[in-house]
């Protein structure tokens, strides 16, 4: 969760100001303290947080410790930070897929559609599953399509209307084709 550490480190106005100053030029605690009108102990505290987060690096130069902004992080966008922040999209996709499977199982019994859901999202999922019964590159005459869909649902005309409305099938030259 590196991005959470980065966001936490930048959650303080003083740390943001220190990081901004270090983006312009390297500096040591006394210079930062003077420019930002903060006590050296406060600057030291904030620098420690920034160094721990990996936003700032330090190096010794005789008696002083010189601090520098790590430019890799300065070039990150908020989108990059949020996407890296650990929102586990693959896990969320898996959970959504499990939910979708559960919904589909509740509307299909023994390969037949029991009813068309009223909720838009569920209706789209169910009709997408119905459209999978149609060959991708085959054109169907209206009687052929009705016969095929009658095996899935008792009202094939309603299925044709719903499939057309959602764009799963298209009518062309008096024939239907899967989109």
Per-residue model confidence (pLDDT) at position 1: 45
The domains of the chain, with CATH numbers, are: 2-82 (1.10.10.10), 88-178 (no CATH)
- The lowest-confidence range among 37-51, 57-71, 160-174 is 57-71
Distances (CA, A) of 166 to 12, 78, 97, 123: 49, 36, 21, 9
Please list the alpha-helical segments (H only) found in 54-176. Answer: 71-74, 78-84, 89-107, 120-131, 142-150, 156-165
Per-residue model confidence (pLDDT) at position 76: 75
Average pLDDT over residues 151-159: 94
């Amino acid at each position: 969760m590196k991005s959470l550490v980065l966001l936490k480190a930048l959650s303080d106005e003083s740390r943001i100001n220190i990081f901004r100053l270090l983006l312009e030029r390297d500096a040591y605690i006394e210079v930062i303290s003077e420019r930002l009108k903060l006590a050296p102990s406060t600057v030291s505290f904030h620098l420690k947080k920034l160094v721990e987060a990996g936003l700032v690096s330090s190096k010794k130069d005789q008696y002083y410790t010189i601090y520098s902004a790590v430019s890799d992080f300065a070039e990150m966008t908020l989108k990059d930070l949020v996407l890296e922040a650990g929102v586990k999209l693959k896990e969320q996709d898996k959970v959504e897929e499990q939910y979708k499977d559960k919904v589909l199982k509740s509307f299909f019994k023994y390969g037949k559609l029991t009813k068309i859901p009223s909720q838009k999202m569920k209706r789209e999922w169910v009709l997408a599953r119905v459209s999978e019964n149609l060959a991708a590159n085959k054109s169907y005459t209206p009687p052929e399509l009705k016969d095929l869909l009658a095996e899935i649902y008792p009202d094939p005309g309603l299925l044709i209307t719903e499939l057309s409305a959602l764009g799963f099938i298209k009518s062309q030259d008096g024939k239907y084709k899967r989109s």
